Structures are given as C-alpha cells and as structure tokens.
Amino acid sequence: MDDQLAELAVSFRGDGEARRAMAAAMTAFRRAYRAASRRFREGVRNLVFPAGTWLYRVRYQACCETAAPP
C-alpha cells in the first residue's frame, strides 16, 4: 500500500537537469494557478490563468494562457 501512495505522489520522473527543469515548471504553474484562483474567488474576473488550467476554463469560462506547442 505504501508503494502505491508513493507512486501517486510522484508527478514526474527524470534525471538531473530534466527533473530540475520539470520541478521548476511545476512550481511556477502551481504558484500562478494559486494566485489566479485566489483572485478569482475574491471576485476578480479580468485575469488569465496559466496554461494547463482546466477547471476554471471549463466550469467558469475563465481566460487561460495558450500552451506552446511541444
């Protein structure tokens, strides 16, 4: 059971520089999402959520950044 929980906690895998880059990208996304979410709940509607946001885009038709193509 503990192995299953540990597996769920991992958002990404990789070695060295790739792992650090992904960790930095995830941290940046989470901070931007948290800030936008807080402001949205305060009533601010003219804001842009980070690319990758689903809930606010679908449920509330909030504006989101467009993702760069891979």
In a domain, 48, yes or no: yes
Q: Which domain holds residue 43?
A: 10-64
pLDDT tens figures, 29-52: 999 999 999 999 999 999 999 999
In a domain, 39, yes or no: yes
Cα 40 from Cα 26, distance rounded (Å): 21
pLDDT tens figures, 10-26: 566 667 888 888 888 88
CA angle 59, 10, 61 (to 5 degrees): 10
Q: For the chain, how many structural domains are there in total? A: 1
Supply the pLDDT for residue 8.
44
User: Is-above-0.85 flag for pTM?
Assistant: no
In a domain, 3, yes or no: no
